[in-house]
Structure 1
Amino acid sequence: MNRPPHPVPLPLGGGEGARRAGEGDGLWSRCVRKSERRLPMNPDEHPTSNIQRPTSNGSKRPSIFLHSITDLRYDDDMSVLAIREFHQRLNARFTELNGMEVVEHYGDPPSEHAALRERAGVLDLSFRSRLCLTGADRQKFLNGQVTNNVKDLKTGEGCYAALVNAKGRMQSDLNIYILEDEILLDFEPGYGATVVQRLEKYIIADDVQVVDVAAHYGLISVQGPEASEVMRALGFERSAGKSTPDPSQEGNEPTAGATPLPAFGTAGAGFVQPPTRPANFVSFKAPTLGEIYLMNLPRIGSAGFDLFVPTAALGPVTDKLITAAKAVGGRACGWQALEMARLEAGTPRFGVDMDETNLPPEAGIEGRAVSYTKGCYIGQEVIARVRTYGQVAKALRGLRLADSIKVLPQKGDKLYRGDKEIGFVTSALASPTLRSNVALAYVRREHNGIGTELTLRTTEGESPARIVELPFKKS
């Protein structure tokens, strides 16, 4: 069956509207001068851009997130070429996603999908956008901008949240991490300018700066049931020579004073224990590689970890992860396999299954992304009103499609009950794991109960569809 098409490319991601790290006379310029990098964007060269110089009233401490790469002398463009050549040696095939080049697959999509579902897959997600917020007011400010509780998070903790407008409509979803001197935001490619403009709109008298770090730190992810075993193969198992509980079990927190990883050429006989609660993280330094941040982030409904790695170290770190994954039956995987596994898990993706027209409760992310006790934020009144006075008009649901369909539905294909149009498809998949055709779709509330039978209309005609629980399960 035909695979659903890629989303229509959107503007380039990575925080296009933000200051690039190193511009101006503030702390970032000190970091970049030390590394002697030539940064690609300067306000003087782009007078019409919304990039701003750092103000003089910000924190005087060097950025922790960029501090580790200031001693690494490299050219960003050469580093990008190096990691691309690394992927090419693995038989990578590239495609475009929202204006960014991504590895679509490594020549065997079915095997890559099986690795993600049954073992472990290593994915280069460096195409995603990455911003940092700095300044003394960063945490208080961000708490007033997003749907989840940020103000009570401590260093080493994080959360998932939505950035919404005054009408409660989503502008992006965000993975948020509280670093020692800044806050890291990780989100879908193509929405960097939107996020920067949205945040800077409300920076009035706050000591907050928005900085683009996408060029300096890449993102490598390990996902799948054996992801914890991949971490163990690299040394993420014990602290100070003592065994620790299974790191996949919630509640087993990193041990203070754990020594760096031998697998990354660091000193010491102990091991770093990975974070065990979703969105929590640890960091460690590796000689010649810089500081690496390890986040607990399941992306496809099973165990998962993200590693933020200095751009110059992407190749060596990815190679180590792939070697460790192969030891447990895993492998390098591309975006196509990740999308298949994501859909099987029933996880919506911003820009595809949720967008600027949706409220977070409509997309089914309310439980993960919304706090109703945190206090005020932009758009809070609308979202609170939905909870207080009734349900949303439509909601994202899982559909089991007919096995007989010859072509999968496209985004926007309509759903009917009788002659009444009651919804539309956002994503569809011929699932190897489920051995059936499935889809995500928005369905009006009076027709979206589990088990409801609907009619799908596509260019190929009509076919039956049934609403099922998410995540999808084998029938």
Structure 2
Amino acid sequence: MTSPLLARPGAVAAAGPDAGVALHYGDPVHEQRALARGEAVVDLSHLGVVTVTGPDRISWLNTLSSQLLLGLEPGASTELLLLDVHGHVEHAPAVVDDGETTWLVTEAADAEPLAAFLDKMRFMLRVEVARRDDVAVLGTAAGGWTALAGHPAHLLTWLDPWPRTAPGSTHYGPPDADHPGAEVPRGLSLVRRDALADVAAAGGRLAGTWAWEALRVAAWRPRLAREVDDRAIPHELDWLRTAVHLSKGCYRGQETVARVVNLGRPPRRLVMLHLDGSEHVLPEPGAEVLAGEKVVGHLTSVVRHEELGPAALALVKRSVAVDAPLRAGGIAAAQEVIVGPEGVTDARPAERPGAGLRRRDLRP
């Protein structure tokens, strides 16, 4: 659905997975600066909201997902992944519970598939799943969500856990203290859709998804609608750090998660690309990444950041050298490592599982 805030003077409509809201309102650089200071609000009302109610909701979601949800306190923010049997990412909602309802925030195109999947997995449990088209989402950063919290139409806020490595998780990228994602925390506030414009006014100036995405890419934060394709596994995106608990019970795709952690070497790795800004044009997401004449990956997200300039996230083959000169969509690109080519974490066993076994040890 199209947001009423697109009628504001200067609004330029976004496209792709952000269709329906504004890309910017005429001044994307200053919008990004205001957002990073906590003085702006982003219309993300195109995002999907799904709720789960009923006394079994937490334990049920725990059995389905990659995340340990048992003991989730009201108001606490987390995220989960729903994987297929091969460990590929299918859904990746933000999660916050208010004590009676679990709220899931996801991509616009994923809301219906997510709700349908959950609904068919209910069986005889005491849970109810619903799409919440009466609820909209506003994005803020750097504490800007506090300005929205006092509004009577504000329901609750999810605070992005990225990039803090959760207990029971691990990371393929840098330690939390060295991670650029720690510089500008972000939040998603759920509000009554009929009061969207009124609540947004409480958050300061309006900023578009141009600014929101620029902060996300600078934080190396994966997004379902951009970084995930039909063969993406969470290790490639460094998504274990906030969305996967390595010691919880069984869930679909767990075998792949455990195998890649134990053996290492995920087939691809997420990188940050600094693009040559002298071309005055940007490649599109999906453009091929080349090392010499060889295709080694593809762009997933492309932004103009007010400090970094043209930048992108890309998935490339694990074997690509970290100092290899690359071209993305015909534009020269310098690589910044996110997931290292060695593809190992501190959760990997010192010795490969089963390495001590010999054929004779298996004989009766």
State the TM bucket, normalised to the shorter chain: 0.7 to 0.9
- Which ranges of structure 1 fall in alignment gaps of 5 or more residues? 1-11, 13-79, 237-260, 265-285, 323-330
Q: Which residue number corresponds to residue 203 of structure 2?
A: 321
After superposition, give the CA deviation of every residue in 1:273-325 in whole Å (9 maximum; x if it has no partner): xxxxxxxxxxxxx3xx4x63133337875133332122233232222222xxx
Q: Which amino acid aligns with 2:112?
A: A
Does the aligned pair in 2 maintain the 1:125–1:220 contact within 8 Å?
Answer: yes
User: Displacement, 1:419?
Assistant: 4.4
Equivalent residue for 1:423, pick from 297, 301, 304: 297
2:277 and 2:159 mapped to 1: Cα distance?
A: 36
**Is 1:124 aligned to 2:43, yes or no?**
yes
Equivalent residue for 2:137, pick from 219, 227, 233: 219
Taking structure 2 as the reference length, the TM-score comes to: 0.78
Equivalent residue for 1:455, pick from 305, 323, 326: 326
1:409 and 1:98 mapped to 2: Cα distance?
A: 17
Equivalent residue for 2:57, pick from 138, 153, 163: 138
Does the aligned pair in 2 maintain the 1:132–1:184 contact within 8 Å?
Answer: yes
Q: Which amino acid aligns with 2:155?
A: I
The alpha-carbon distance between structure 1 residues 139 and 416, as it changes in their structure 2 partners (threshold 3 A), is same
The alpha-carbon distance between structure 1 residues 448 and 425, as it changes in their structure 2 partners (threshold 3 A), is farther
- Which ranges of structure 2 fall in alignment gaps of 5 or more residues? 163-180, 340-364
Q: Which residue number corresponds to residue 173 of structure 1?
A: 92
The alpha-carbon distance between structure 1 residues 216 and 446, as it changes in their structure 2 partners (threshold 3 A), is same
User: Displacement, 1:411?
Assistant: 2.6
After superposition, give the CA deviation of every residue in 1:59-94 in whole Å (9 maximum; x if it has no partner): xxxxxxxxxxxxxxxxxxxxx8xx71x653454333
1:403 and 1:89 mapped to 2: Cα distance?
A: 30
**Is 1:308 aligned to 2:190, yes or no?**
yes
Alignment of 1:93-172 (within 5 A): 93-98=12-17, 100-172=19-91
After superposition, give the CA deviation of every residue in 1:8-30 in whole Å (9 maximum; x if it has no partner): xxxx8xxxxxxxxxxxxxxxxxx
Give the 3-state SS of the residue equivalent to 1:177 in structure 2: strand
Q: Which amino acid aligns with 2:36?
A: R
Give the 3-state SS of the residue equivalent to 2:45 in structure 1: coil
Count of matched residue positions in the alignment of Structure 1 and Structure 2: 320
After superposition, give the CA deviation of every residue in 1:221-256 in whole Å (9 maximum; x if it has no partner): 222x4x35x73x67x8xxxxxxxxxxxxxxxxxxxx
Alignment of 1:390-469 (within 5 A): 390-435=264-309, 437-449=310-322, 452-456=323-327, 458=329, 461=330, 463-469=331-337
After superposition, give the CA deviation of every residue in 1:310-341 in whole Å (9 maximum; x if it has no partner): 2233232222222xxxxxxxx21112221222
2:11 and 2:274 mapped to 1: Cα distance?
A: 32
2:296 and 2:159 mapped to 1: Cα distance?
A: 38
Give the 3-state SS of the residue equivalent to 1:144 in structure 2: helix
Does the aligned pair in 2 maintain the 1:94–1:101 contact within 8 Å?
Answer: yes
1:156 and 1:99 mapped to 2: Cα distance?
A: 27
Does the aligned pair in 2 maintain the 1:147–1:377 contact within 8 Å?
Answer: yes
After superposition, give the CA deviation of every residue in 1:169-205 in whole Å (9 maximum; x if it has no partner): 1112111112222211001111122212322332222
The alpha-carbon distance between structure 1 residues 455 and 106, as it changes in their structure 2 partners (threshold 3 A), is closer
User: Displacement, 1:418?
Assistant: 4.2
Alignment of 1:298-377 (within 5 A): 301-322=183-204, 331-377=205-251
2:102 and 2:37 mapped to 1: Cα distance?
A: 34
User: Displacement, 1:398?
Assistant: 1.0
2:118 and 2:86 mapped to 1: Cα distance?
A: 16
Does the aligned pair in 2 maintain the 1:454–1:466 contact within 8 Å?
Answer: yes
Q: Which residue number corresponds to residue 293 of structure 1?
A: 156
The alpha-carbon distance between structure 1 residues 448 and 139, as it changes in their structure 2 partners (threshold 3 A), is farther
Equivalent residue for 1:190, pick from 106, 109, 112: 109
Deviation beyond 4 Å, 4+ runs, structure 1: 298-301
User: Displacement, 1:116?
Assistant: 2.1
CA RMSD of aligned residues (A): 2.7
User: Displacement, 1:360?
Assistant: 1.0
User: Displacement, 1:166?
Assistant: 1.3
Alignment of 1:40-55 (within 5 A): none
Taking structure 1 as the reference length, the TM-score comes to: 0.61
* % identical aligned pairs: 26
Q: Which residue number corresponds to residue 386 of structure 1?
A: 260
Give the 3-state SS of the residue equivalent to 2:308 in structure 1: coil
Residues 358-367 or 295-304, more deviating: 295-304
Q: Which amino acid aligns with 1:456?
A: R
Alignment of 1:13-28 (within 5 A): none
